[in-house]
Structure 1
Amino acid sequence: MSSDPVGIRPGVLLVAAPILIDPNFADTVVLILDTDTNGALGVVLNRPSPVPVIEVLGDWVDVVTDPDVLYRGGPVSTDGALAVGRLVDPADEPVGWRVVFGDVGILDLDTPVELVDGMLDGLRIFAGYAGWGAGQLEREIHEGSWYVVDSAPEDPFAEDVSDLWREVLRRQPGELAWISTRPADPALN
C-alpha cells in the first residue's frame, strides 16, 4: 500500500486523535505491522496489562523487554499472542522471524527460546491485535480519528509507555506537537 495517500504502511504509527473516544483506542499509539488489499493489522504499544509474561509464556520471560508483562495489542483475538522484536543484526534472522520493517519483525512464539538467544535487541509480547478491513482505516483517518506518523526505533520497546502518546506527538512538526499539550480533560482547562 505504498501508493496509499494517507501513508499506511508497516512501521508507521497511528496516534489516536482526541476525537477518538472508542475505549479500545482512546489515547493509543498503534504500530502498523501489515497492510494489504484486505486491510491493516497493528498492535497498541501503550497498553501494558498487569499479567506477567512468566504466567503465560514463561520461557520468554528472560527475553522480553522490561517491563516483563503482556501488552494489550488490541481488541481482536485477545486469547492469542503476537511477539514484536528487533534484531541485533538484521543480516542474522532467527528461525520463525518475519521482517516487518527495518530490523523490526514478528517472531513465532513456537520458536525455541534458545534459537533466538542473543539475537534480539528488544522483544514485546502482545495479547491480541488491532485490525481493520479493506478501506476501514483509511475512512477513520479521513474522518480525523488517527494521525499517521513515522515511528522511532525505540517506540515499540519503550520501557515506560505511560506518556508515549504525548511523546510521539511532541516530536512531530507543527500542530501535532501542540496537540500533545492538551489536558486529559479539556473541560478543566
Structure 2
Amino acid sequence: MLLLASPDLLDPNFVDSVVLLLDVNAEGALGVVLNRPSALPVSEVLGEWGDVVDEPEVLFQGGPVSTDGALAVALAAPGGEDAVGFRSVTDRLGLLDLDTPTELVVGTVERLRIFAGYAGWGAGQLQGEIEEGSWYAVPGRADDVFRLDTRDLWRDVMRRQPGDLALHATRPADPELN
C-alpha cells in the first residue's frame, strides 16, 4: 500500500509525498517516502552498496525518523525471496538487511533503493490521520518504488486512482491562485 499526502497535509516532511508502507500492526506503522531523493551518493555513505542500487544512485530521504539509519527496499529476483538478508513485505518486494555482504545479494535482487530514515506512526495514529483526511491509502506497484524520476510520482499515482480521487492529480500547487 501507498500513502499519498492529501492537499491538506502541510507538514514539510510530507507535502506531496508518496509513502510506501512496509509494516502496519497494532503497535503502529512504518514506511518510507519514495519521492525525496537526496544529492548524496550511496557510495559515499555505504561504499559498495552504491554499485548495487538502482539509478539514481543516491540516498532517498525516507522520513524524519532515525535519519542516521538506513533501510533498503528491494525487489527480489524470481526465486530470490528466500535469499540471505531478504524479508518479504509483499510478494517479491521486501527489506534487505544492509549487513548482508553485497556479493550474496548480486543475482538475488533485481532492484534496490536505500532510504535514510523512515516515516513512523504510533498505535492508531496513522488511522486517525487517514480519517481526518491527511492521507489517501491506495494500492501501489513495484515500479512506483524504483522509479528513476520521482518528481511526478504523486500526480501519476493519484491520476490512476478511481473516481474523484484522480481529480487531485490536476490541482494547482496553490489552489487559491486558481
TM bracket, shorter-chain basis: over 0.9
Q: Which residue pairs with 1:59 in the alignment?
A: 48
- Match of 1:61, SS state, is helix
* Distance in 2 between residues matched to 1:108 and 1:92, nearest whole Å: 13
Change (3 A) 1:69 1:91: closer
Q: Which residue pairs with 2:78 in the alignment?
A: 89
* Distance in 2 between residues matched to 1:188 and 1:118, nearest whole Å: 50
Matched, 1:155 2:144: yes
* Distance in 2 between residues matched to 1:37 and 1:160, nearest whole Å: 34
Aligned residues: 178
How high is the TM-score relative to the length of structure 2? Answer: 0.97
How high is the TM-score relative to the length of structure 1? Answer: 0.92
Q: Quick one: which of 37, 45, 56 aligns to 1:48?
A: 37
Matched, 1:144 2:126: no
* Distance in 2 between residues matched to 1:162 and 1:66, nearest whole Å: 14
Change (3 A) 1:59 1:119: same
| Alignment root-mean-square deviation, CA | 0.9
Task: Name the amino acid aligned to 1:119.
Answer: T
Correspondences of 1:165-176 after superposition (within 5 Å)? 165-176=154-165
Matched, 1:80 2:43: no
**Residues 111, 146 of structure 2: 8 Å contact kept:** yes
Deviations for 1:144-189, whole angstroms, at most 9, x for unmatched residues?
0000000012011111100000000000111111110001121221
Structure 1 consecutive aligned stretches of length 4 or more whose deviation exceeds 2 Å: 90-93
* Distance in 2 between residues matched to 1:39 and 1:72, nearest whole Å: 20
**Residues 6, 135 of structure 2: 8 Å contact kept:** yes
Identity %: 63
Change (3 A) 1:144 1:138: same
**Residues 80, 108 of structure 2: 8 Å contact kept:** no
Change (3 A) 1:90 1:14: farther
Question: What is the deviation of 1:111?
Answer: 0.3
Q: Unmatched 5+ residue regions in structure 2?
A: none
Q: Which residue pairs with 1:182 in the alignment?
A: 171
Q: Which residue pairs with 1:122 in the alignment?
A: 111
Task: Name the amino acid aligned to 1:29.
Answer: V
- Match of 2:54, SS state, is coil
Task: Name the amino acid aligned to 1:100.
Answer: V
* Distance in 2 between residues matched to 1:93 and 1:65, nearest whole Å: 21
